């Protein structure tokens, strides 16, 4: 491999775990093309005076778009609600939107009727690396031995990581 600065690197294996950019790296070496469509998830974080409202993470029934909006205490004693699931073109834009946060609050009220803007100290978003074709893509493409994809690692990628790492 040659870097943009002209440095040549030799290695026995490459692991492609580049998040929303994993499709671009795969597509440099393999004819089996991937396409990641980022799916934004927005959250609201409440101050610690709200943290005692829940002692456990509470999920709702999942939908095709994901596991739905949850309400959870954090390890620091805050309360966290979210996320929604909105497909977008940009792989860089992690801004939140008024509509997205309003959707999260409305959905959260099914679990926590008091959910509102009082006590909110931060909001933020993350991008799930969703594959246009569906599931996680794990392993070597047939035409690129030594190149291991851990790509399209959408939710629940974090929970799946120990199983993927030992498989
Ligand atoms: C809103 C939301 C909710 C989620 N909920 C859950 C959940 O409840 N449970 C669960 O298990 N998972 C959940 N996930 C999914 C989980 O967060 C991801 O599966 C996991 O973080 C993916 O980890 P990763 O290391 O593959 O990718 P990332 O954490 O995205 O890391 C990719 C890394 O690659 C680097 N990189 C990218 N391109 C290049 C390049 N060209 N050169 C060098 N480095 C590069 C990036 O800088 C980054 O450090 C959620 C994700 C989101 C966004």
Chain CA centroid to CA 3, Å: 28
Ligand 1 nearest atom to the CA of residue 153, by list position: 19
**Under 8 Å CB-to-CB from 78, ≥6 apart: which residues?**
45, 46, 47, 48, 50, 51, 121
Q: How far apart are CA 83 and CA 70, in angstroms?
A: 7
Q: 1 pLDDT exceeds 80?
A: no
Average of pLDDT values for 16-41? 97
State which of 43, 130, 138, 155 you would mutate to test the pocket of ligand 1, scoring each by most atoms of that ligand within 8 A of its C-beta.
155
Percent of the chain with pLDDT over 90: 88
Under 8 Å CB-to-CB from 158, ≥6 apart: which residues? none
Between the CA of 17 and the centroid of ligand 1 the distance, in Å, is 8
The pLDDT assigned to 62 comes to 83
Residue 14's DSSP bridge partners are 147
Most ligand 1 atoms within 8 A of CB, residue of 9, 14, 16, 19 to mutate: 19
The residue nearest atom 18 of ligand 1, judged by CA position, is 157
| pLDDT per residue as tens digits for the range 99-134 | 999 999 999 999 999 999 999 999 999 999 999 988
Nearest-atom number in ligand 1 for the CA of 154 is 19
State the Cα–Cα distance between residues 64 and 138, nearest whole angstrom: 22
pLDDT bin (cut points 50, 70, 90) of residue 65 is low
CB atoms within 10 A of CB 105: 18
Cα(114) to ligand 1 centroid in Å equals: 31
Ligand 1 contacts CB of residue 128 (under 6 A): yes
Quote the CA–CA distance of 73 and 120 in Å, as a whole number: 13
pLDDT of residue 10: 92
**Residue-wise DSSP of 113-166:** TT-SSTTEEEEEEEEEEEETTBS-EEE--TT-TTEEEEES--TTHHHHHHHHHT
Q: What is the rounded CA–CA span in Å between residue 123 and residue 140? A: 38
Alpha-carbon gap, residue 154 to 127, rounded angstroms:
9
pLDDT at 64 over 90: no
**pTM, to two decimals:** 0.93
């Amino acid at each position: 491999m040659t870097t943009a600065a002209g440095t040549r690197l030799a290695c026995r294996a490459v692991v492609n775990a580049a998040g929303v950019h994993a499709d671009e790296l795969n597509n440099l070496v393999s004819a089996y093309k991937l396409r990641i469509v980022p799916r934004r998830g927005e959250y609201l974080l409440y101050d610690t005076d709200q943290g005692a409202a829940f002692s456990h993470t509470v999920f709702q029934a999942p939908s095709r778009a994901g596991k739905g909006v949850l309400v959870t205490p954090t390890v620091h004693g805050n309360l966290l609600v979210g996320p929604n699931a909105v497909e977008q073109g940009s792989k860089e834009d992690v801004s939140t939107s008024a509509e997205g946060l309003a959707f999260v609050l409305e959905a959260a009220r099914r679990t926590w009727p008091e959910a509102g803007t009082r006590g909110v100290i931060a909001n933020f978003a993350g991008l799930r690396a969703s594959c246009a074709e569906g599931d996680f893509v794990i392993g070597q493409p047939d035409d690129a031995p030594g190149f291991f994809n851990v790509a399209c690692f959408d939710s629940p990628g974090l929970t799946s990581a120990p199983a993927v790492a030992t498989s």
